[in-house]
Amino acid sequence: MGRAAPRAVLVSAPRAAGAALGELLEIAKGQAVSAGTLLLESFRDGREHEITSKSTPTDLVSEADRLAERVIHEGLAELRPQDGFLGEESGAGDAGSSGLRWVVDPLDGTVNFLFGIPQWCVSIAVQDEHGSLAGVVYDAIRGELYSAVRGGAPTVEVWAEPGPVHGGTAARARETRTLSASRCAELSTAMLATGFAYDARVRAAQAQVIARAIPRVRDIRRFGSAALDLAWTAAGRYDAYFERTVKPWDIAAGTLLCEAAGLRVVELPVHEDLPWGILVAPPALCEPLLELVGGPA
């Protein structure tokens, strides 16, 4: 039996508000690179020792997460004192009075970071009442800074090597490329990315979905950073991405990148043991994938 038509996730709208988009984007870039540079130093030195858990024993947070968020929050408070703030580690944060809110994941992929796995990033977006206005995902390991503004083309700025930060701007020559997302139309040739919940019961239900899906597609990858998975999907490294239990700070910048690259972003409906989630795919793949991964067997 076919499923109901997918409902689009509103992450952008045609109107912009407040400050110029270019100004907001440059602020986001500067803060992401500042935090990412600090994280990269810690990652390379292997000096992260303070680790605690949050929702479950597998949901980890480190002092690096907290430090990176504090750096971003303080930087934004100086540059945009009237704006609101929502960070993964600080929770509800500040409401602000400007009508704009910064949504920040200071270290997406904490478990990877702590285990020395080079797949983590900084994600920053600024939103109005309609959704994301501007967003960046900074992959400090590879020196790749993904960015987009509402109504604009998504890009990636590539450094030969991540450099020091001076005045909020990385001091390295860079190449800028426009992102080109997949136009895959065949389920059997689709490379998918996904992620799993921290809750063991939800993981068990997700495993059933994966078992059903994997014979039908080219392959599935699971690396551990939702924001970076979204950026890589916008860049065409994956054909599509789906994940449940994602939070606003996980997806605020990445979904803007994907929509700007011409992909569809739709909701995964709630089922027993399968919480809300999102699916990102080329238009021709959206319906077949929703049928395949949108619910239990």
Other C-beta atoms closer than 10 Å to the C-beta of 253 total 35
Give me the number of domains the chain comprises: 2
Other C-beta atoms closer than 10 Å to the C-beta of 192 total 28
Span 74-106, pLDDT tens digits: 999 999 999 999 998 776 567 789 999 999 999
Q: Which residue has the tokens 């702590």?
A: 114
Res 176: pLDDT: 94
- Same domain? For 43 and 173 the reply is yes
List the domain range (segments joined by +) for residue 163: 21-178
- Same domain? For 84 and 114 the reply is yes
Q: Is the pLDDT of residue 280 over 50?
A: yes
- Same domain? For 194 and 283 the reply is yes
Please check whether residue 136 is in contact with residue 155, taking contact to mean a CB–CB distance below 8 angstroms.
no
- Same domain? For 226 and 254 the reply is yes
Res 296: pLDDT: 86
Span 171-205, pLDDT tens digits: 555 799 999 999 999 999 999 999 999 899 999 99
**146: alpha, beta or left? (left if phi > 0; alpha if psi -120 to 50):** beta
**Phi, then psi, of 254 in degrees rounded to 5:** -65, -40
Span 126-173, pLDDT tens digits: 999 999 999 999 999 999 999 999 999 999 999 765 554 444 444 555
Please check whether residue 8 is in contact with residue 255, taking contact to mean a CB–CB distance below 8 angstroms.
no
Q: Which of 20, 260, 24, 38 is nearest to 170 (CA)?
A: 38
Q: Which residue has the tokens 């790749």?
A: 144
256/123 Cα distance (integer angstroms): 12
Identity of the residue numbered 20: A
- Same domain? For 96 and 38 the reply is yes
- Burial pattern 194-217, b for ≥16 Cβ within 10 A else e, equals bbbbbbeebeebbeebeeebeeeb
**239: alpha, beta or left? (left if phi > 0; alpha if psi -120 to 50):** alpha
Please check whether residue 6 is in contact with residue 287, taking contact to mean a CB–CB distance below 8 angstroms.
yes
Tell me the CATH number at 121.
3.30.540.10
**Which one of 123, 157, 178 terminates a domain?**
178
Within a domain: 8: no
- Same domain? For 205 and 162 the reply is no
Span 234-259, pLDDT tens digits: 999 999 999 999 999 999 999 999 99
- Same domain? For 52 and 167 the reply is yes
Within a domain: 170: yes
Sign of the C-alpha dihedral, residues 177, 8, 203, 52?
positive
- Lowest average pLDDT, out of 56-60, 63-67, 119-123, goes to 56-60
Span 2-19, pLDDT tens digits: 444 445 454 444 444 446
Query: Could you tell me where the DSSP H helices lie in 101-247?
Result: 110-115, 200-213, 226-234
- Same domain? For 170 and 214 the reply is no
- For all residues of the chain together, what is the average pLDDT? 87
Tell me the CATH number at 287.
3.40.190.80
Q: Is the pLDDT of residue 31 over 60?
A: yes
**Which one of 149, 178, 207 terminates a domain?**
178
122/40 Cα distance (integer angstroms): 11
